[in-house]
Every structure is written in structure tokens, then in C-alpha cells.
């Protein structure tokens, strides 16, 4: 089991560059199956989940070549329309291969996908959308999908703005005959980036950036070159960890429009950040204190669909709150197990009350003590690593591979910011 060993108490200082977006690149890799022409993806992060998705391409019969941040994917022929149980267990986004396989072969088979254990993660949006577009779905130990004739456009209304559900059904709709209207669609930056790539391949998608997508289906798509957008979740994580340690950093390669709600949350926690066209600056020597509501009530930080506060940013913000003077209530609405890691913060000395599976009250500032921890999921793992950076003494964060599923060159980037961290295999 790989581990991180951290000596806490050192403020993070320096410059770090945001990597390519994890939640954009994974559906993009699956979307490469839609065409028999070569696809070139640039700014591709070298993270474990990307490696697994590229393995899926090879398993299906495609060719993959990687040179640094540039990846060439060419699925000229499909050797198999089934993904192995082992590969499906490794990465949740394996399900995104289904719609492209239906387009290319008329059938697909995969096993229940793996991923983070953060609560129930429904696949209903995927099944609903595929069935509305004409596919049949059977559960016989594995999921078996079949298109009797061809995918047909339809009017859809999602009962939740599922990110992966929207991405998946979008890849089906672009090659469905006729028009597809998707209402209550997710519109996060990574969903927008996928839609822009599909349009560059010859798709006809309008309404990008809104919760209603109109798709005029086309018979086929062609190859293209696309640069993956930056990862705003990663950028916010480094900002939160730097603020928690009393540091000063500059995150490069960002934009403005991805951080408006995140900026508001930082303000609630008393953190000042400067948003610029291509970077974000966190000044040092800040005295952090929560900002109560207008009537003096304890502020509430709640997640929600874009453009509300992203659920994936919640964990690191909770760690930050332990180092802020005052009280704040976090309300995690989307996953009932995401807050379980807070017990580990309490064991380190955090003053926190877990009200129920969805709410936790943090009262700071707390002096954290170094200890041995285990990373339960990508975001909680990063949050616990942040707590170790704040704590006095030495900490060991086990299951480091879990964090590296979503954060590229994690040890290298933290060392560049002055952290005392060592990765041991």
C-alpha cells in the first residue's frame, strides 16, 4: 500500500499550474470511440483514472499513443464490445463507453462500475436516456445493451442534473437520428468542454452552458484535436490547502468563470483570493475568520448543481474551516457518505460535530495533531492530506493511490510549494 509521509506546520508558498480536467478527459476518452478516425487530446493529466480509461480503449481494440500531455487515440476497428469485470471495477466512468459502442457495434456489455465509495451513485439517468433513444438494457450479472435498429432522437427530462449522465447521453444523442432535447442537463465546465469537443468532431449541439441542450443528430463524426480545459476542482483544492496552512500561492492556467461560487465560499471563510484572467492569487498572512450571515446566524456552505458550490470541493473546504476562527455548517446534499472522513479530523483534534450523514458543524480554529490516516476517496484523501500539512508533528496518509486517481503529480506539486512530503510505495 502506497503512503504519503508528511511533516506538518509548513505554509504552502509558491506557484502551481492547474492540470487538465479529470472530469472532462474521462468522458472525452470514451467519446473517441464514436469515430474511426484519429483523435488528438492535449493537456491530458497523467492520473490513474486516465490510465484506466486508456486501458479500456486498448481492450476494445483501439490504439493509444502518449507523449507527455498529448495523447493520440485511434479506434479504427472495434475488437470487442465488452469491457472486462476487472477494468470496470477500476474506474466508474467505464460506463461512458456504452453509448459509443452502441453507435459503432449496436451492442455493449459491461459490469457494474467501481469508483469512490461516497454513497449511492445512481445509474438511472444513463439507463433512462439510452432507453429513450432506443436502446434496450438487461441486467444479467452484467449490464447488456442492445440497439435493435439505430438510436433515435427524443425529448428527455432528467430527474437529476447528473454530470456523467449528461455526458453519456450527449455522446449518444449526437449520433442519433433526428433531434434530441435534454432538459435539466448538467452544465459544469467539464460538460461544456466535452460538448465543444463533440462539436469540433462534427456534432451539432446548442445550448452549451445551460441546462437545456438541443442536439441535431449526425450520421458520423470525424477526428479532431482538442485541448482539455483546466481542472477547477484541483485548483480550488490547492487554494484551500494553502489558506489552511497560512500560505501564499499563485495557481496558473485558470479562468474567471469557473470560480464565482467558489470565491463566495472562500469569502465566507474569511479567505481573500484574487481572480485574474489566467491565474488566481492567494495573498499570505491572512487572519481567517468566518463571516456570519447578515442576522448573525452561523453561515451554511451547501453544495449543488452548477453553478452552485461543487460537491468535489467540499472536503478540502472542511479541512480549511478547521483552521478558521468561528463556526460554519457544511451541508452536503448529494452524497450520504462523503462526510465520513470528518471523524478522522476529529481524531486529529478538530472541533467538529457530525449532525447527520449530510451535515457537519465546524468550530475553529483547532490545533491538529499528526497521526496515521487512510484515504477513503479522492477528495477526502486530499482533505486529509491537507489536515496533515496543518498538523503538528508527522502524519502518514495511507492509500495514496486513491488520491492520485484525481490529482496529477501530487507529491511533485506539493514539494514545489514547500511541503515536507515523501511518497513511499
Q: Which residues are marked as active site?
A: 116
Whole-number Å distance between alpha carbons of 147 and 134 = 6
- Beta bridge partner(s), residue 386: none
* Cβ atoms of 233 and 310 closer than 8 Å: yes
Whole-number Å distance between alpha carbons of 208 and 343 = 40
- Nearest alpha-carbon partner for 379 in 254, 229, 231: 231
* Cβ atoms of 250 and 242 closer than 8 Å: no
Query: 261 phi and psi, to 5 degrees?
Result: -75, -40
Whole-number Å distance between alpha carbons of 92 and 330 = 26
* Cβ atoms of 368 and 350 closer than 8 Å: yes
Helix (H) or strand (E) holding 239: helix 232-244
Whole-number Å distance between alpha carbons of 94 and 379 = 20
Residue 246 contacts by C-beta under 8 Å, 6 or more apart in sequence? Answer: 11, 284, 285, 286, 323
Residue the block writes with cell 465566507? 268
φ/ψ bin of 61: left (φ > 0), alpha (ψ from -120 to 50), beta (otherwise): left
* Cβ atoms of 350 and 88 closer than 8 Å: no
Residue 86 contacts by C-beta under 8 Å, 6 or more apart in sequence? Answer: none
Whole-number Å distance between alpha carbons of 187 and 148 = 31
Query: Residue length, the chain?
Result: 425
Residue 362 corresponds to which cell in the numbers above? 465546524
Query: 228 phi and psi, to 5 degrees?
Result: -70, 135
Whole-number Å distance between alpha carbons of 423 and 80 = 38
Amino acid at each position: 500500500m502506497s503512503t504519503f509521509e508528511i511533516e506538518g506546520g509548513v505554509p504552502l508558498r509558491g506557484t502551481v499550474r492547474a492540470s487538465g480536467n479529470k472530469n472532462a478527459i474521462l468522458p472525452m476518452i470514451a467519446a473517441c470511440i464514436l469515430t474511426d478516425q484519429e483523435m488528438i487530446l492535449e493537456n491530458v493529466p497523467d492520473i490513474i483514472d486516465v490510465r484506466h480509461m486508456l486501458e479500456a480503449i486498448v481492450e476494445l481494440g483501439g490504439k493509444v499513443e502518449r507523449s507527455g500531455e498529448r495523447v493520440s487515440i485511434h479506434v479504427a476497428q472495434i475488437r470487442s464490445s465488452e469491457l472486462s469485470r476487472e477494468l470496470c471495477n477500476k474506474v466508474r466512468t467505464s460506463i461512458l463507453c456504452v453509448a459509443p459502442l452502441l453507435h459503432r457495434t449496436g451492442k455493449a456489455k459491461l459490469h457494474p462500475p467501481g469508483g469512490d465509495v461516497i454513497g449511492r451513485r445512481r445509474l438511472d439517468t444513463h439507463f433512462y436516456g439510452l432507453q429513450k433513444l432506443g436502446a434496450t438494457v438487461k441486467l444479467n450479472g452484467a449490464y447488456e445493451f442492445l440497439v435493435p435498429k439505430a438510436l433515435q432522437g427524443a425529448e428527455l427530462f432528467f430527474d437529476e442534473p447528473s454530470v456523467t449522465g449528461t455526458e453519456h447521453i450527449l455522446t449518444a444523442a449526437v449520433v442519433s437520428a433526428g433531434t434530441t432535447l435534454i432538459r435539466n442537463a448538467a452544465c459544469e465546465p467539464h460538460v461544456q468542454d466535452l460538448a465543444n469537443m463533440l462539436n469540433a468532431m462534427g456534432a451539432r449541439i446548442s445550448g452549451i452552458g445551460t441546462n437545456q441542450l438541443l442536439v441535431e443528430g449526425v450520421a458520423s463524426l470525424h477526428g479532431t484535436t482538442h485541448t482539455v480545459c483546466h481542472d477547477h476542482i484541483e485548483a480550488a483544492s490547492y487554494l484551500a490547502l494553502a489558506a489552511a496552512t497560512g500560505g501564499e500561492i499563485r495557481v496558473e492556467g485558470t479562468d474567471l468563470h469557473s470560480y464565482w461560487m467558489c470565491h463566495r465560499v472562500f469569502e465566507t471563510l474569511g479567505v481573500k483570493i484574487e481572480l485574474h484572467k489566467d491565474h488566481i492569487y492567494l495573498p499570505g498572512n491572512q487572519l481567517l475568520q468566518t463571516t456570519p450571515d447578515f442576522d448573525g446566524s452561523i453561515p451554511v456552505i451547501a453544495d449543488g448543481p452548477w453553478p452552485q458550490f461543487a460537491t468535489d470541493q467540499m472536503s478540502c473546504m472542511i479541512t480549511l474551516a478547521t483552521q478558521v476562527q468561528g463556526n460554519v455548517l457544511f451541508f452536503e446534499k448529494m452524497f450520504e457518505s462523503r462526510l465520513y472522513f470528518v471523524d478522522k479530523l476529529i481524531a486529529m483534534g478538530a472541533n467538529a460535530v457530525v449532525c447527520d450523514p449530510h451535515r457537519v458543524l465546524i468550530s475553529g480554529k483547532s490545533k491538529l495533531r499528526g497521526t496515521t490516516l487512510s484515504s477513503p476517496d479522492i477528495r477526502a484523501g486530499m482533505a486529509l492530506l491537507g489536515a496533515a500539512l496543518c498538523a503538528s508533528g508527522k502524519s502518514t496518509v495511507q492509500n495514496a493511490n486513491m488520491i492520485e486517481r484525481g490529482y496529477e503529480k501530487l507529491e511533485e506539486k506539493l514539494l514545489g510549494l514547500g511541503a515536507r512530503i515523501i511518497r513511499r510505495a
